[in-house]
Amino acid sequence: MGRLEDYKPVIAMVVLQFTYAALYLLSKAALLQGMSPKIFVVYRQAIATLVLSPVAYFSNRRKTIKCSMGLRSFCLIFVSSLIGMAINQNIYFEGLYLASSSAGTAMLNLVPGITFLIATIVGLEKVSITSLRSMAKVVGTVVCVGGAVSMALFRGPKLLNTAFPFHELTFHSGGENWLIGCLLLFGSSCCWSIWLILQVPIFASYPDLLSLTAWMCFLSTLQSAAIALFLEPDRSAWKLHSIFEISTCLYAGIIGSAFIFSVQSWCVSQRGPLFSAMFNPLCTLIVTIFACIFLHEELFTGSLAGSVAVVVGLYVVLWGKAKELEEIRGDEEPTENTTKTAITILIDESLMESGKINLQEPLLADKCCDVHESHKNY
């Protein structure tokens, strides 16, 4: 493999972080211009469904052996869609509106730590006080949560307040709104972590991952529409009043879902989930810089210190997981290949302790039922 091939995953992840940053900044700008967060979620999920469903359908038609969905699988997918997509995105974009873009991206770095905490509670992770890697994950999680609390409660003196000519998008939020926004963003990270944990039983019972993603997008569209109809009394909020709002919805649905999922899946298949997760703080940095320039967001010392703590805690958790993975690979030789898509990015994190996942294998096609056989006794 040439040098360019070696750097392709790195280049892809850097491009992906700019793509994520554009998604958060465009979403924040659309919300500041008056678009309802609840309506935005409905349109985003609906567009993602329209993009992914035909791909999943024609992909299944080429398969000689198809996987069937039972009642248990459908119930799990329904609950997972409700928690991980409908509720998660509704409270995330509401929190993004009330807090700031930089806080929204910084809070996403909590997901590995919260996932580890929940996985420990349900028995998917084991903690040993004599193990350095276990204690690193515990300490990293504590630092992450402490950083999030610092962001929410201790904004501190203003660090940056440069005037730029984008006053129509200026963010005017009081302390109470900031606190509520940070709490909503923290709740979103918890929902996302629960979604990741739920993927373990879902993947075992219905491993057709492309169809699974399309089903989740479809169900979350219906669920988000129900939430919007119940919580958004103003029916005029469903109207998109500008080309910018329409473009933002299209970007969020097509680029923010289909494109990002595909690139993320390829990077994970090449280098594993830890490599992918290590680039997350870059998105926080990009968003912080451009939010100050284009959205005129204010930067506070407490928020900056909390963001740094969250990033440091993230890397401590990832270091513990990396050491754990090295030990597993040293003790066991992986014997099974598995299909990779975006929906399995952190299922791998949950399952790697058992040595069942080979993170370095490339994407494989038409292995749906082979994966099912390898996981049905999990």
- Reported as a single tens digit per residue, the pLDDT across 28-83 is 999 988 899 999 999 999 999 999 899 888 887 777 667 778 888 899 999 999 99
Length of the chain in residues, anyone? 378
What Rg, from alpha-carbon coordinates, does the chain have? Answer: 21
pLDDT, position 273 = 64
Q: Compute the CA torsion angle 337, 259, 102, 33 (nearest 10 deg).
A: -150
pLDDT at 90 (0 to 100)? 95
The residues, any chain, with a CB within 8 Å of residue 230's CB and separated by 6 or more, are none
In sequence order, what are the beta bridge partners of 158? 300
Q: Which two tokens stand for residue 209?
A: 């991952």
Q: Which of 310, 362, 356, 323 is nearest to 339 (CA)?
A: 362
Cα(148)–Cα(145) distance, integer angstroms: 5
Are residues 45 and 253 in contact, defined by beta-carbon separation less than 8 angstroms? yes
Query: How far, in Å, CA of 203 to CA of 225, rounded?
Result: 26
Regions of the chain where pLDDT drops below 70: 1-4, 6, 64-65, 155, 160-176, 262, 265, 268-269, 272-274, 330-378
Query: Per-residue pLDDT tens for 274-291?
Result: 677 778 888 888 888 888
